[in-house]
Structure 1
Amino acid sequence: MTSMEAESVATIVCTSKQTRFNIGTPNYRELDIEGLNIIVKSGSKPGVKGKAKAKSEGTEILSNAKLRLKAGQRYALIGRNGTGKSTLLKAVAEKLIPGIPEETRITILQQTDVGDANADEGPISTPSEGEGPAVLEDVIERATAKQEVQKEIDILSRGVDGGDPFDALRAVRKVHHGRLQKELFLKDKDARLRSGARGMQARKALITMEKKVTEFQSQYEQKDEDIPPETLAKETSEAADMLADLQLQVEPSKLAETESKAKKILTGLGFTESRIAQRVSSLSGGWKMRTALAAALLQDTDILILDEPTNFLDLLGIIWLQRHLIALAESSDPPTLILVSHDRDFISLCTDLLIIKDKDLTYFHGDLPTYEASRAEKKAYLTKMKDAQDKQKEHIQQTIQRNMREGKAKDDQNKIRQAKSRQKKLDDRWGMEVNAKGGRFKLNRDLVGYHLTARAEIDIPQNERPVSFTLPDPSELRFPGALISLEKVSFRYTRDAKAPVVLKDIDISVSMGDRIGILGLNGSGKSTLIKLLVEETRPSSGTATKHPRLKLGYYAQHAVEMLQKMGREDPQMTALGLLMGENDDGLDEGEIRGLLGSLGLPGRLASDVPVRRLSGGQLVRLELARILRRRPHCLVLDEATTHLDYETVAALREALRDWEGAVVLVSHDRWFVRGVVEGVGGDDGEEREEDGRGAGAGAGGAAGGLRRRLVCRLRAGAMSVLEGGVSEFEEGVERRVRKMESS
């Protein structure tokens, strides 16, 4: 990277409190860092000087926070989009935070902008003849650096077996030279990334390393006649010892064990034998992400960081990964896990919550439903306490005023003193009656500091501005009938009658108010069925019909990637500009602004921020606005939750559950499907009052006002209704995972 390029990129600046004392041998699987501050600065600009000005230009992510991770625990990192989750993970992974030991092994899987993220259906391509490693080779190399070790073995073998007495010495020096160059590159990278005191230390380390490399360079270029016999003997022996150590790392039994483990992980993540044999370069974005996940799981590490690992997995892969991480945690020396996921069922594997909010980190031992219930209970308790105290305070103030009036009128000093004493109590000793631990409040224990005489006010935690979605009601249909109907529909990729059938004998109708969930593993035909429903393709046989006045809203799986591409092609395009340009429904600017605002893109965010700068969650909202602008009667949603945080997923779930139109949903998020399709009201597991589940997939619309709820399974191109809903599908997948694990 050139200096100009280095200045143009964002820099993460981390500071923290550090002790000067030796506190014993560190546990590399634990972190305990006080006073953590993280600021993200854009590229430096000419003419900007001074610490205050530099700080003001950055975006503050954390301020005086405490980062505390206990060895072997499993942390779910939660927080709204934009709070800095990815920045924090990057700062930990790259050890930018002072206090993280350099020896700590940290493995991270980060989400990247990948196109064609889930080409899961259609024929599997044959292994590419292009360059690059096959999947298995790539995973093993990433996890073990096998090729690097083998390269050093080859150098040393040629030296030790060479006929020239100086060959072994030259070989060992060549290996040392390569290692020093690699270490110099890493030191240089650290010096570029770090700033402040940490940056000064990194630059000093770089200078020391540069001197070491320079000194070794003269030794590396030393002529044979200048090498003393004792040096020759010493380094020849060193070459033999180094070769033996390296050969132990790649001995067949150890490599076979690693390869077996890698294959097991890849199989669990959905790779078939043919796909394992493919070149990584020939894979789609989703399969490349799974390859990276497999490499992360294969590595020996102290801290394992997984950022949205389920985005490109089907339920089989999700449940396998869930069980794998739990088994890993139950091993003899488990890594510490930090997990980010919008899938509430998946993060139930975590033991603790790490919450990033208001530039601070807070912790909760337990799962997300328990945390939300605890917050609600605490708020209700404090509200009740404050209401009671407010009434008591009002009564005391009235008594004080009455006593002061009567005392002054009758010159009664006792009443005046009594009134002043009560006023002093209100001023100095009014407030919390219990401490943070729930015990009785004591001033000398719970309010430290001689200058503080008053108790803290009862502070009722304020809910963040709730995430909400307001879905416009569907336009009028004018006459009844099924919105979409497929009768005895089959589909092949070609017209050849001998071609494999992707879908066969599909019967399904969608009427107003219906909630239909389509579940299935990758390759079962879900994407093909969706394309038939939205008329992107036609059936090979059978009949597909739709209501003549139907307005259909289709959220495609790659909608966010498509919007990002549009934003790159037109850098000035905004959300408002995009909708105004596509406006064929006669909406004025005020109505479009209102729609964007109701979906979480208000004001200047809609009109001033370019689409290319919107986050993944904001792009989901924009795509929903494009769909809902026409007031559709039916929404077909294909993995609409991928880029959303868990609170936004919950808001969308709530909005879709009560919307008047029909919803056809494809999603691997079990909690989301349970809420939207089955009508489960929340984490209490209660269902809504209306329940039309049980009507056949080809049955008509809701009768008697009941909403029809169907959970359908696609398997090998055939569709069936699951009477047991999502739970039945989940149980079947779990049985399959257990069978995979036992084989």
Structure 2
Amino acid sequence: MDESETAILCSSKQTRFDIKTPVYQQLDIEGLNITVTSAPANTATKPKGKARAEGLEILSNASLKLKAGVHYALIGRNGTGKSTLLKAVAQKLIPGIPIRTRISILQQTDSDKVSSCDTVEGPSGALSSKPQLSVLEEVIEKATSRNDIQQEIDVLLKAVEGQASPLAPPRALRQVHHDRLKKELFELDKDARLRSGTRGMAARKALTAFEKKIAESAERLSQKDEDITDAAIQVETAEASDLLVDLQTQVEPSRIADIESKAKSILTGLGFPKTNFDKPIGTLSGGWRMRTNLASILLQPSDILILDEPTNFLDLLGIIWLEKYLKQLHDSPDPPTVVLVSHDRDFINAICQELIVLRDQTLTYFRGSLTAFDKSIRDKQKYLTRMRDAQEKQKSHIQNTIQQNIKQGKAAGDDNKLRQAKSRQKKLDDRMGMQKSASGGRFKLNRDLAGYHLSARAEIDIPADEKGVSIVLPMAPDLRFPGPLVSLEGVTFRYPTAKKASTPAPAVLSDVNLTIHMGDRMGFVGLNGAGKSTLIKLLTETTRPTKGTITRHPRLRLGYYSQHAVESLQQLGIADEDLTALSLLTNDINTNTDADEKLDEGEIRGLLGSLGLPGRTASDVPLRKLSGGQLVRLAIARLVWKSPQLLVLDEITTHLDFHTVSALAEALSGWNGAAVVVSHDRFLVRRVVEGIKDSERGDEDSESEGEDEEVELRRRLDSERGDEDSESEGEDEEVELRRRRVVYLLKGGGMKVLPRGVGEFEESLERRVEKLLVS
């Protein structure tokens, strides 16, 4: 369903008791239900009574709890409804959110994948950009509503100082007041529609009273000149003058100068060159416009700050700056509550104190980092698995003794044996299950089991892995004869010089030498504009070098994932509304392969299924309705069906949830081909290129553990292998030891090796960020 054709229906439990002045930075909502339906948004805002609305259910009887000033990460697989939940909070569609809460949201849109910045204050729900405004003006306008204030000033100033008529100031004052009342009416109307019970009745009474106030204001606005008394003219003229002075104070140069200084600091931190501050907003690309939206979000005061994938278009310098800025925001005197969605594990670990896990239409909470959360899940799985295995052995032993007691009791006519068998059978039927309560103590049937009168305990339920889809990459075929896959020798690239230019354009890349062999893992990091995209174009032969030579293995099959791959697929879906993942991949294979290399439908479905596009998702859902993460998987399928020996991946994590990023990293780590990774995602570079499994480095245990593993690996390689399995295992480990893992930094046209990997680049950027924040 298109977003314009859907409505978000929300309902929740509400207390009947009077609530004191609310804390606007926190929420405590029970019994939350959210459904996305195709019904028009103005037909209903929530299902009546206890009836459930028809549509896609996002949450069912969930609890939404946000504590004031805490930074949360909302995590969940692609398509579970994270963005829908955030939108419902931002638009205050959920009953129980105080109507005066200031909520700011940076959200992703489905149309052009250009993020939008909404401040939910007025009837429009969004602040529209004006293409003629400069970048700096746009940020300040969205953060302060300066344009709205200036419009009121212009109306009052013309009336007060123009002296066109003594009635002009009262008329202008009445118009300004009436426009403000209409904005307030929107909020009261939403409040009355969302609330129920005693508070709903109070809200509707307040709305009715306010509607009368609006009617009176409209009547005063349309009052005839001859009916306005001299006393009213005198009083309202004075009020108009006082209001004008107050508004002018709000936009006085000293206050605006402070806001402008802060706006410039934020824009600089997000990567904007100072020369672009005066650039018209309408000339910016989607990525740069998202940064202006993010800057305005950070500039304005908020009670709840919602950031949906804020790092998508930031380079690593901007990501680290945002980390530091949000940490400073947390330490401020009146910090907002922050809720963010991100695929960047390091960013989440650095920012968030708690996780909100959206899974199976409910919300659960975890205090700690993503790494700690993953470890807790693994530990719980191991514990419950051991408990279940031990219990299965115990059940088997009890079952054997029951059979023996029955046999012996019947043979000897011993009723005690038969009663003992019956007692043990009852224990087997009703007393086997969880041995620990939710609090960790010993399980007691009449205390810990809901509906304990049913007598039987719950079975041991081992939680499934929440790693998203399991990605499987087909093995790369042999090259038949040795040689590098790609070799760059003395490569220099500069853009063509204009005819009127007196000096040649500076070199984007200068004297670059690079050789990629089968199995290599290479990562390229650097700031935006450092030449990463140019290097990728040279590797994939989409552009030619100005100087130097590039050679490729004659049998090389190369797969290239462009950072614009999702947008390209979206355009294909718009051009052909019936196009599906299955039909697109089938067409690719049929038009680009020989007859003996074609895949049948079952094989194509198997490939799509292995990448997370199973069954009807592949064959029935049009491309235009697939999520960004699903389109990434389709783009990967279009690359790997021909079994490439080299994968070149340019910002592949942008539209993926972190579970799928982890699955992709695991798949690439065990793949036998060569991989070139260009990414600002530090976890992906460390896992795929550097081969580091733990995303949190730096503790002595993990370092010593890594050293012990390497020593053990070499010991096993040097030992004698007694059978074919151990020989093949040793060969794989030896290949792993020989595999080249290199992280390169692109800067100033040059390329150098980072001995300590992406961590070394990260440390240098942290020093730069500290200087930016101080200045």
TM-score, structure 2 as length reference: 0.86
How far, CA to CA, are the matches of 1:87 and 1:233 in structure 2? 52
Deviations 1:266-321 (A, max 9, x none): 00000111111101100011000000000111110000000000000000000000
Counterpart-to-counterpart distance in 2, 1:639 and 1:7: 26
Deviation at 1:603, TM superposition (A): 2.2
SS of 1:17 mapped into structure 2: coil
In the alignment, the residues of structure 2 paired with residue 529 and residue 71 of structure 1 have an alpha-carbon distance, to the nearest angstrom, of 46
- How much does 1:149 deviate? 0.9
**1:63–1:514 Cα change, 3 Å:** same
On the 8 A contact 2:467/2:659 being kept in 1, the answer is: no
The one-letter code of the counterpart of 2:34 is I
Look up the match of 1:619. 631
Alignment partners' CA distance in 1, 2:497 and 2:566: 33
Task: Assess if the C-alpha contact under 8 Å between 2:73 and 2:354 holds in 1.
Answer: yes
Q: Who is 1:161 aligned against?
A: 161
CA distance in 2 between partners of 1:140 and 1:7 (Å): 29
* Per-residue deviation, 1:459: 2.5
| 1:715 aligned residue (730, 747, 752) | 747
1:90 match: secondary structure: helix
CA–CA distance in 2 between the matches of 1:705 and 1:461? 35
Q: What residue number does 1:588 align with?
A: 599
1:38 lines up with 2:34 in the alignment: yes
Task: Work out the CA distance in 1 between the residues paired with 2:218 and 2:466.
Answer: 60
In structure 2, do the counterparts of structure 1 residues 540 and 333 end up closer, same or farther at CA, with 3 Å as the change threshold?
same
Q: Which moved more, 1:375-384 or 1:207-216?
A: 207-216
- Residues 444-453 or 575-584, more deviating: 444-453
Show the 5 A alignment for 1:261-272.
261-272=262-273
> Partner residue of 2:118?
none
What is the aligned counterpart of 1:26 among 9, 22, 25? 22
Equivalent-residue separation in structure 2 for 1:450 and 1:521 (angstroms): 61
Q: Is the 8 A contact 2:72 2:340 kept in 1?
A: yes
Q: Distance in 1 between matches of 2:675 and 2:736?
A: 19
Is 142-151 or 442-451 further displaced after alignment?
A: 442-451
Aligned position for 2:505? 499
* SS of corresponding position for 2:746: strand
Say whether residues 1:729 and 2:761 are aligned partners.
Answer: yes
CA shift in 2, pair 1:659/1:202, >3 Å: farther
Kindly state the Cα deviation for residue 541 of structure 1 after the two structures are TM-superposed.
1.0
**1 CA distance for matches of 2:417 and 2:645?**
73
Question: What SS does the aligned partner of 2:549 have?
Answer: strand
Between the aligned partners of 1:341 and 1:116, the Cα distance in structure 2 is 15
Aligned pairs for 1:544-555 (under 5 A) are 544-555=550-561
Query: What is the SS of the residue equivalent to 2:518?
Result: coil
Q: Which of 651, 655, 672 is the aligned partner of 1:643?
A: 655
The separation in 2 between residues aligned to 1:482 and 1:103, in whole angstroms, is 64
Deviation, 1:502, is 1.2
Out of 565, 569, 574, the residue aligned to residue 559 of structure 1 is: 565
Contact 1:74 1:336 in 2 (8 A): yes
* Residue number in structure 1 paired with 2:688: 676
Kept after mapping to 1: 8 A contact 2:686/2:695 = no
**8 A Cα contact 1:7 1:43, kept in partner:** no
Alignment partner of 1:67 out of 64, 67, 74: 64
Q: Distance in 2 between matches of 1:195 and 1:625?
A: 48
1:340 paired with 2:341, answer: yes
Q: Secondary structure at the match of 2:310?
A: coil
Contact 2:489 2:514 in 1 (8 A): yes
Give the counterpart of 1:487 among 480, 489, 492. 489
Q: For this pair of structures, how many residues does the alignment match? A: 716
Structure 2 CA distance, aligned partners of 1:203 and 1:635? 61
Query: Following TM superposition, by how much is the alpha carbon of 1:410 offset from its aligned partner in structure 2, in angstroms?
Result: 4.6
The equivalent of 2:770 in structure 1 is 738
Q: Hey, what's the Cα distance between the residues in 1 that align with 2:621 and 2:196?
A: 32
Distance in 1 between residues matched to 2:544 and 2:380, nearest whole Å: 56
Summarize the Cα distance change of 1:450–1:350 in structure 2 as closer, same or farther, 3 Å threshold. closer
- Give yes or no for contact 1:116–1:286 (8 Å, CA) kept in 2: no
Q: Tell whether 2:668 aligns with 1:653.
A: no
Q: Secondary structure at the match of 1:345?
A: helix
State, as a whole percentage, how many aligned pairs show the same letter. 60
Change (3 A) 1:705 1:587: farther
Aligned partners of 2:303, 2:312: CA distance in 1, in Å? 24
Alpha-carbon distance between aligned partners in 1 of 2:225 and 2:470, rounded to the nearest angstrom:
76
149-158 vs 612-621, which moves further: 149-158
Please give the alpha-carbon distance, in whole angstroms, between the structure 2 residues aligned to 1:540 and 1:234: 76
**Structural mapping, 1:289-368, within 5 Å:** 289-348=290-349, 349-368=351-370
CA distance in 2, matches of 1:633, 1:464: 30
Which of 81, 89, 93 is matched with 1:92 structurally? 89
Q: Do the aligned partners of 1:475 and 1:631 also contact (CA within 8 Å) in 2?
A: yes
Shift of residue 212 of structure 1? 3.6
Greater displacement, 315-324 / 178-187: 178-187
1:532 aligns with 2:534: no
Residue pair 1:8, 1:43 contacting (<8 A) in 2 also: no
Deviation at 1:441, TM superposition (A): 2.3
1:685-704 paired onto structure 2 within 5 Å:
685=697
**Contact in 1 for aligned 2:95/2:195 (Cα 8 Å):** no
In structure 1, the residue matched to 2:134 is 134
Matches within 5 A, 1:599-614: 599-614=611-626
- Following superposition, the deviation at residue 196 of structure 1 comes to 8.9
Q: What residue identity is the alignment partner of 2:387?
A: M
Larger displacement relative to structure 2 (478-487 or 639-648): 478-487
* In 2, Cα distance between equivalents of 1:116 and 1:211: 43
User: What letter corresponds to residue 227 of structure 1 in structure 2?
Assistant: I
Task: Say which is worse superposed, 402-411 or 98-107, in terms of deviation.
Answer: 402-411
Answering whether residue 594 of structure 2 is matched by residue 597 of structure 1, we say no
Preserved contact between residue 329 and residue 335 of structure 1 (Cα < 8 Å): yes
**CA distance in structure 1 between the partners assigned to 2:201 and 2:430 by the alignment:** 48
Q: Greater CA deviation, 515-524 or 380-389?
A: 380-389
1:142/1:295 contact within 8 Å kept: yes
- Structure 1 range deviating more: 298-307 or 680-689: 680-689
Deviation at 1:505, TM superposition (A): 0.8
SS in structure 2 at match of 1:262? helix
Contact 1:117–1:287 (Cα < 8 Å) also in 2: no
TM-superposition CA deviations, 1:691-735 (whole Å, max 9, x none): 99xxxxxxxxx9996101110010011111111111111111111
* SS of equivalent residue, structure 1 residue 578: helix
What SS class does the counterpart of residue 767 from structure 2 fall into?
Answer: helix
Aligned to 2:227: 226
Distance 1:526 1:40, change over 3 A: same
Aligned to 1:110: 107
- The one-letter amino acid paired with 1:92 is V
Which residue identity is paired with 2:9?
V
Q: Report Cα offsets for 1:606-630 as digits up to 9, x if no partner.
A: 2222111111111111111111122
* Residue of structure 2 in register with 1:698 after alignment: none
**TM-score for the superposition, normalised by structure 1:** 0.90
Please tell me the root mean square deviation across aligned C-alpha atoms, in Å. Answer: 3.1
Please point out which of 642, 648, 656 is paired with 1:630.
Answer: 642
Matches within 5 A, 1:423-462: 423-447=425-449, 451-462=453-464
Partners of 2:94 and 2:53 lie apart in 1 by 20
Shift of 1:419: 3.8
* Counterpart residue type for residue 75 of structure 2: I
CA distance 1:655–1:110, shift in 2 (3 Å): same
Residue 152 of structure 2 corresponds to which residue in structure 1? 152
Maintained 8 Å contact 1:495/1:540: no
How many Å separate the matches in 2 of 1:168 and 1:570? 58
> Residue 125 of structure 1 corresponds to which residue in structure 2?
none
Which moves more between the two structures, 476-485 or 202-211?
202-211
